[in-house]
Structure 1
Amino acid sequence: MFEAIVIEKDAEGQRALRTQLDESALPEGDVLVRVDFSTLNYKDGLAITGKAPVVRRFPMVPGIDLVGTVEESSHRECPVGRKVILNGWGVGEGHWGGLAQKARLKGDWLIPLPEAITSRQAMAIGTAGYTAMLCVMALERHGVKPDAGDVLVTGANGGVGSFAIALLSKLGYRITASTGRPSESDYLRTLGAQEIIDRKTLSEPGKPLQKERWASAIDSVGSHTLANVCASLKADGAVAACGNAQGLDLPASVAPFILRGVSLLGVNSVTRPKAERIEAWSRLAALLDMGQLDLMTEEIGMGKVVETANKLIGGKIRGRVIVDVNR
């Protein structure tokens, strides 16, 4: 038997419970992992609270991230005893995820934990840090360099935003952070932001083409915010888009793309190839100041998962939430 958070749905509605499960209940997979830590991401919050139709089958164990030790394996690249990380691949949505003490998974989804990172640090980074790194890599591939001008980071107090600021700062970029919580300005400056703006300046409908302000951007918000970011980029600028906290819509025009040569770079962290995942995690290990992780991180046990998920969706959580699944 092992402990897990399970989302159930019946005629009375959807609910998330902390419960005990038998190992035989685990879904199919060629690797059994003994989980050390998981996380609470925005998507997990939506799944647990039922605020959006994230879960595709019930019952479901949420948790799109996990780190742990291979306990049983028939996969050639996942020997017993290896520490492994999982991000994405529909885990926590269509396949049981990391908010449990055990997980059975496909070995192709797993990558080795870098030696320079502890299990706890890996989940302090999690999908948020991994996605932020993919966004930085997308801008680099586009040719964006620090001397081109400011980089705007939207949703700056969230997990992706916090890591994007830390990574860009380490690489020498000047960063403008957009946030709905001006009281957190000191935190954002500590991470490396040089300028703080109120998200209200971007979240309302705006003109299709606006004053050129930033050379590039990382956006986790979507909707009017992303439209205004595109409209405010300098000529030949680029925005790496990876989220939809404000909405899935994009009420924009083609003006920034055809009159300024702006590029919109979509970043999908869920199904990236293994080689790209390993590269991203290797760079995270090399670039991140692990001492900064404590600034971004709150740790909870399984008993506080549902309560914290509600706070997360309510915009009351800063940075990252680590879940120690064994307490």
Structure 2
Amino acid sequence: MTFKALLATKPGEKIETNLVELEERDLMPGDVTIAVEYSTVNYKDALALSGHADVIKTFPLIPGIDFAGTVEASSYPGIEVGDRVVANSWGLSQTHHGGFAQKARVNGDWLVKIPSRFSTKDTMAIGTAGYTAMLSVLALEHGGLTPESGDVLVTGANGGVGSIAIAILSGLGYRVIASTGRPEEAGYLRELGAAEIIDRKTLSEAGAPIAAERWAGAIDSVGSHTLANILAQMKYRGVVTANGLAQGMDLPGSVLPFILRNVTLAGIDSVHAPQSARVEAWSRLDRDLDLVKLARTTQTVGLADVPDVVGRIFQGKVQGRTVVDVNA
């Protein structure tokens, strides 16, 4: 039997994507085969399909760093036929076929069983973005942050990580400040729980190495001058997590926030996080994420719509999370 997939090839200098019919023998090695139901389009997926970054390492390849579905076959201990599972990152869309297809075969240790409260669609509305947001919240807590510590800044607030981070943090009782370049979407951010909206321009230019204290915590997906300015504005013993580089991969800052204010900068890697961290993150998402707020962040498209979504991501026109129904 065949299945539908979005296949990326590189016949020349540019990456091309086409909807194709493949057979199970075209899948890569793994000990679990999954009937995929949903995937999602993340910023990393956009980088992969556009070629703006060297994400895909081998061609042809099925992109998509996330998927959720039901196990069809398994020789991996603890994962059985009929289990609902989610995969986030690992080698997906880099060296291994990913989630933009109706079937997948991967190593069992790449999978996490989906909490019963979530549907497979909910799971992809969360996706790597939401899982990264929760890893960031866990890092803030590990650094000692509590709602009583003070305001928490979330940059890239309209994006996937930012939207879900706001929903989680506000639900936990934090006062969240959302930084965005789209002030016209302030209503959406307030619905998710943001108490205040600021223009990203206030953070994106070169600033002083140390500045007035503003933030007790921050979740940053932007990098560059934005992250440097956040660090300069942290309160004493403040905690910042860094998970992205939308503005740039440089960090033109100073050691002063670290040695004068004892600030912590925690890196967030969602690709190779150990299984224990993934299970903890999904357990906390199950406990702490409001599904009503999650629904506000989500739109659904089909496989054929993915390239268009990628274009709109780079135009700054995508809000929140985009779920891909691979069977639509």
**TM-score after normalising by structure 1:** 0.98
Corresponding position of 2:172: 171
Structure 2 residue ranges without an equivalent (≥5) = none
Corresponding position of 1:19: 20
RMSD: 0.9
Equivalent-residue separation in structure 2 for 1:224 and 1:12 (angstroms): 32
1:99 alignment partner, SS class: coil
User: 1:12, CA displacement in angstroms?
Assistant: 5.0
User: 1:235, CA displacement in angstroms?
Assistant: 1.1
Verify the 8 A CA contact 1:86 1:111 in the aligned structure 2. Answer: yes
User: 1:141, CA displacement in angstroms?
Assistant: 0.8
Residue type at the aligned position of 1:33: I
Equivalent-residue separation in structure 1 for 2:322 and 2:167 (angstroms): 17
Change (3 A) 1:12 1:189: closer
Residue type at the aligned position of 1:265: A
Residue type at the aligned position of 2:281: A
Equivalent-residue separation in structure 2 for 1:273 and 1:26 (angstroms): 24
Whether 1:287 and 2:283 are equivalent positions in the alignment is no
Deviations 1:213-248 (A, max 9, x none): 111100011111100000010111110111111111
User: 1:294, CA displacement in angstroms?
Assistant: 2.1
Verify the 8 A CA contact 1:4 1:61 in the aligned structure 2. Answer: yes
Whether 1:217 and 2:239 are equivalent positions in the alignment is no
Q: How does 1:114-263 map to 2 (within 5 A)?
A: 114-263=115-264
Deviations 1:72-114 (A, max 9, x none): 1111121111110101112111111000000110001101111
Corresponding position of 1:270: 271
- For this pair of structures, how many residues does the alignment match? 327
Residue type at the aligned position of 2:304: G
Corresponding position of 2:100: 99
Deviations 1:166-221 (A, max 9, x none): 11101111111100000010111111111110000111111111111111100011
The 10-residue stretch of structure 1 (107-116 or 9-18) with the greater mean CA deviation from structure 2? 9-18
2:69 alignment partner, SS class: strand
Equivalent-residue separation in structure 2 for 1:13 and 1:119 (angstroms): 33
Corresponding position of 2:69: 68
Corresponding position of 1:299: 300
1:166 alignment partner, SS class: helix
Change (3 A) 1:12 1:153: closer
Corresponding position of 1:113: 114
Residue type at the aligned position of 2:263: V
Residue type at the aligned position of 2:259: I
Verify the 8 A CA contact 1:16 1:49 in the aligned structure 2. Answer: no
Equivalent-residue separation in structure 1 for 2:47 and 2:268 (angstroms): 20
Verify the 8 A CA contact 2:168 2:290 in the aligned structure 1. Answer: no
Equivalent-residue separation in structure 2 for 1:158 and 1:12 (angstroms): 29
Equivalent-residue separation in structure 2 for 1:210 and 1:4 (angstroms): 50
Equivalent-residue separation in structure 1 for 2:295 and 2:108 (angstroms): 30
Equivalent-residue separation in structure 2 for 1:228 and 1:260 (angstroms): 14
**TM-score after normalising by structure 2:** 0.98
Equivalent-residue separation in structure 2 for 1:238 and 1:286 (angstroms): 23
Residue type at the aligned position of 2:160: G
Whether 1:49 and 2:78 are equivalent positions in the alignment is no
Residue type at the aligned position of 1:226: L
Equivalent-residue separation in structure 2 for 1:293 and 1:193 (angstroms): 14
User: 1:308, CA displacement in angstroms?
Assistant: 1.0
Deviations 1:267-316 (A, max 9, x none): 11111121221111111111111112221001001111111111112211
1:13 alignment partner, SS class: coil
Identity among equivalent positions (%) equals 55
Corresponding position of 1:40: 41
Verify the 8 A CA contact 1:221 1:246 in the aligned structure 2. Answer: yes
Structure 1 residue ranges without an equivalent (≥5) = none
1:230 alignment partner, SS class: helix
